[in-house]
Structure 1
């Protein structure tokens, strides 16, 4: 004999699920609430009651036959998943975070499928969802259902409104000061973020890409000079504070130091995620004027360089070019994995050096090659470098941060920087070996990373509240003596400006200056190297160990 299934009316079931969602899957929200409303606990209680009644009103409206259980089950699973990442890493789920999720590779997604996530989903997602699915819901006739729901919905909304009015001064000041509070609320935060992301994608479906810099041309004729070759390396999740060249307590950049690379220490990112920073830094927009739509609606840096007659190509070992390389040759290296460098759908960044060596053989004119690293992308830092580069130990060897000490997490991250140092130095060595070219390398990361400071991990916090660890990024330059002479750059001057305040706003114009490109869209005031540029062909101070 089968056990009798429990029977509940739709409203009691909704009321129970609302209580579960609000009070069980919102640990981060309540922790922040207790801190932000310290000394005003009555306001926090009013906020909690108001949110419960609002959720009750909305879900009661949806509590119709054949719909109520699927909706409740979906919300339970969504809230369980969101609460794991919010509680484990201190993340906020906003539109940019949804964009990151949608653009995450299969390999990266697999690294997030940890035992901790599985256990959390079973306890807080699957079991409660199965309990809801097992309930036999008692539904009334249409008219009776309408009356019953109305007796719940309208009084709930009225009381919620009364609470807002009663505590409005406290609510408004707290929400203005702490915008992250409501952004931590499950399941509304991920639902709103997903809706905003979908709206953005729909907005971007119908637009025309406006030309940019059609007047671009080389400042000097190609005849009688060596071709210029610039390698632009886009780093991933590297934060400037952990670079030895920037004064970090560990020597994480010995090879770059040996090659006389110049590191700029005060560089701010445009965003805290790749999906924001990469389109922004390759556009001619400043961070203040940036929007995804504006960037997508215009050509960018690589197009302007192409208009100037330069050979431009993008070599990717990360998650894609985010439309900035739509009109130039593009290669995604994990599509053709090298077993020496690759495993489980991902490749170590030395595969970029292998490809760069092959690309250099065909350079005959002014060229820009963009290398996009997987760099220090977390949380599986240990997967970003070969075992030979595990100098700092004991390094965390899992993506489950709860299983590692904070120091072990930092050790693993520092090993990724040590490996990036080797990759960049290897690229410099290839450029130094080409005396027939005037060569340069410029490295800049897309955003930084939190490593447990204030309980935060990873990145993608909203910029207004992001810690400096997520927005202060490394920028490193190396130029051959021939490139310095050809473009009039004074190496000693550049080294003297290493602490100048810079940002991703400068990349577009710095690259045009470095490429010796003349165009009306170039802004000398935003060229980070312009203060150190003499007349082309002058004899600047030589770069130490810079090569031909």
Structure 2
């Protein structure tokens, strides 16, 4: 094993911090950026073209890394920072290659909202192997290398020279290759978020550091003037409306929308209305859920500088009983000011063992458990006016789609049973995903059946709307969360399903024939706020009748 001793001796030789930084930058550019190099080869066409652009991108990447790390080129006490950056780059490369994602600020912000169960779904032995292949050797070297000591003044001017040299090389490369790089980056914006780990550092700074320098958000009230409409004056029964927030469901995988597979056997038998031309506000839960409950609409929501009260606040302010039940990683601040609970809360031990696998990550049928008790626990004076329940599903959350449906709902076999989606046969991946959609069909049918049991006491209805869609390998992409302008339509085209009892339809003066003929009209998440207010007959200055999905089918409009 003399070669191992020789290698260890070579690694432990004294070197300046700048030498370590330089070699580390080159190593990360080469070993931790395979998704970038492969994408450049795919985009570039002929080798004479993509080799030139790849060389230019490599120079820019190494220069950027040297410039960034020059701020840490001081002493051996910065070794933990270098090791952390190597491990970060290795982890990021694994997920970029496994799921074809990019680490932009929205993806990172969504990741910070992920709970322990979702993190667990993303872990695998393959991830550990891939990270080890990239990180073990440089981490060992960083640990072993001795950093030569230089006085503070000497370190300062040498680091400054390194920073200026890196900036000069990068500027020279941009000038020399502007004709190649400018159109490349303009036409392929995602490439800037594939520069590993620079993109992750930038996105982290955007998500974590930038808010520290922004003004403190205030909560803008939207509840002023909220009141119940004339239908409440002499109502026979109060309304009971269930809003189901779906997770990661694609409109084109709903049989109700023409999908060849029977993914909606139970809803098809319950007289629902399915709207097949609806698009989401965002491509991840953190972006979409607050947006769909906001009165602002997508454009104004994304441009806002303050927080605004949402649909839940307005319904509660009008005097209705509202309750949010979550089977996800949280309501993304939508339910902060109204009563809320997790689906697992209060479940009997036998039901929890059946639906939650002994933990707190439950199948979506947990949302339907104990609904009578949850309803009865709401304030009676509010309940007598009307009730809105929101159920936030686990739905088809990936990458472990097979966990989102019980054995009884697995009509499509064989399933992909790993979170390394690129390793699965495409048909197996689609089977697992479609089984999760079929299970959502079962849960929604269960919600409708429960609402029917309440028909003697309430006028009942349900509106289901998914938060975003999903990529299942199309164009080499998996999961969701790409920047909205770059994301394929399957990450934005979402299913919407409505079921209204005859009592609620008559109460809202809706024409059944008109509603059945409105399936192809284009709608977005912007419509949810105004549609829910109209269904509950809540009057408020923020209500826009033109955004009520069912507005054209109300008796006065007809």
Task: Pick one of 384, 395, 398 that aligns with 2:418.
Answer: 398
Change (3 A) 1:342 1:457: same
- Provide Cα deviations, 1:19-50, integer angstroms capped at 9, x if missing partner: 11111111111122233444534343223213
- Provide Cα deviations, 1:181-228, integer angstroms capped at 9, x if missing partner: 011111111111111111455468833212113212222234342101
- Matches of 1:58 and 1:191, distance apart in 2: 10
2:16 is equivalent to residue 16 of structure 1: no
2:353 is equivalent to residue 339 of structure 1: yes
What is residue 265 of structure 2 aligned with on the other side? Answer: 254
2:364 is equivalent to residue 349 of structure 1: yes
**Displacement of 1:336 after TM fit?**
4.3
Task: Pick one of 452, 474, 495 that aligns with 1:474.
Answer: 495
- Provide Cα deviations, 1:42-62, integer angstroms capped at 9, x if missing partner: 343223213312322332342
Count of residues in correspondence between the two structures: 536
Change (3 A) 1:142 1:213: closer
Task: Pick one of 34, 39, 43 that aligns with 2:41.
Answer: 34
Normalised by the size of structure 1, how large is the TM-score? 0.93
Segments of structure 2 that go 5 or more residues without pairing to the other structure are 378-382
Worse-superposed segment, 355-364 or 62-71: 355-364
- Matches of 2:303 and 2:362, distance apart in 1: 29
* Kept after mapping to 2: 8 A contact 1:216/1:520: yes
What is residue 280 of structure 2 aligned with on the other side? Answer: 269
Change (3 A) 1:309 1:144: closer
**Displacement of 1:349 after TM fit?**
0.6
Segments of structure 1 that go 5 or more residues without pairing to the other structure are 541-548
**Displacement of 1:146 after TM fit?**
4.0
What is the root-mean-square deviation in Å for CA atoms of aligned residues?
A: 2.1
**Displacement of 1:335 after TM fit?**
4.5
**Displacement of 1:165 after TM fit?**
1.6
- Provide Cα deviations, 1:321-365, integer angstroms capped at 9, x if missing partner: 111111110111234452221124300110111132433456533
**Displacement of 1:285 after TM fit?**
1.4
Change (3 A) 1:316 1:205: farther
Change (3 A) 1:20 1:452: same
Worse-superposed segment, 211-220 or 328-337: 328-337
Task: Pick one of 491, 501, 510 that aligns with 2:531.
Answer: 510
Please give the residue correspondences for 1:376-395 in structure 2 after superposition, counting only pairs within 5 Å: 376-395=396-415
Task: Pick one of 429, 432, 438 that aligns with 1:409.
Answer: 429
Change (3 A) 1:357 1:412: farther
Structure 2 SS opposite 1:418: helix
What is residue 137 of structure 1 aligned with on the other side? Answer: 147
Task: Pick one of 501, 509, 533 that aligns with 1:488.
Answer: 509
What is residue 442 of structure 1 aligned with on the other side? Answer: 463
Task: Pick one of 121, 125, 128 that aligns with 1:111.
Answer: 121
- Matches of 1:224 and 1:101, distance apart in 2: 46
- Matches of 2:499 and 2:271, distance apart in 1: 7
- Matches of 1:32 and 1:281, distance apart in 2: 34
- Matches of 2:167 and 2:92, distance apart in 1: 26
Normalised by the size of structure 2, how large is the TM-score? 0.91
* Kept after mapping to 2: 8 A contact 1:10/1:68: no
- Matches of 1:257 and 1:205, distance apart in 2: 50
**Displacement of 1:143 after TM fit?**
3.9
Change (3 A) 1:101 1:336: farther
Change (3 A) 1:67 1:323: same
- Matches of 2:108 and 2:250, distance apart in 1: 22
**Displacement of 1:460 after TM fit?**
0.4
Change (3 A) 1:322 1:150: closer
- Matches of 2:453 and 2:388, distance apart in 1: 17
Structure 2 SS opposite 1:181: helix
What is residue 499 of structure 1 aligned with on the other side? Answer: 520
What is residue 299 of structure 2 aligned with on the other side? Answer: 288
**Displacement of 1:73 after TM fit?**
1.0
What is residue 358 of structure 1 aligned with on the other side? Answer: 373
Please give the residue correspondences for 1:183-202 in structure 2 after superposition, counting only pairs within 5 Å: 183-199=193-209, 201-202=211-212
